[in-house]
Amino acid sequence: MNIQSILSDKIKQAMMAAGADESCDALVRQSGKPQFGDYQANGIMAAAKN
């Protein structure tokens, strides 16, 4: 298991604990802008819109 998979699992658990649907996806990707960190979770905004 790699760091991206671990982050994805943990973020999905947090999203579901916050009320997101079970079908939510964290969409963890490597960040394109290093000043913002190594990874980003793009699925959080999509879950917030639902």
Integer Cα distance of 21 and 35 in angstroms = 31
Domain layout of the chain by residue ranges: 3-49
Q: What is the pLDDT of residue 48?
A: 82
* Binned average pLDDT, 10 residues per bin, the chain of 50 residues: 94 94 92 94 86
Q: What is the pLDDT of residue 12?
A: 95
CATH superfamily of the 3-49 domain:
Arginyl tRNA synthetase N-terminal domain (3.30.1360.70)
Q: Dihedrals φ, ψ of 46, to 5°? A: -65, -40
Q: pTM for the full model?
A: 0.82
CA angle 48, 31, 27 (to 5 degrees): 40
Q: If we measure between CA atoms, which residue out of 11, 31, 29, 28 comes closest to residue 20?
A: 11
Q: How far is Cα of residue 33 from the mean position of the Cα atoms in its chain?
A: 17
Q: What is the pLDDT of residue 47?
A: 84
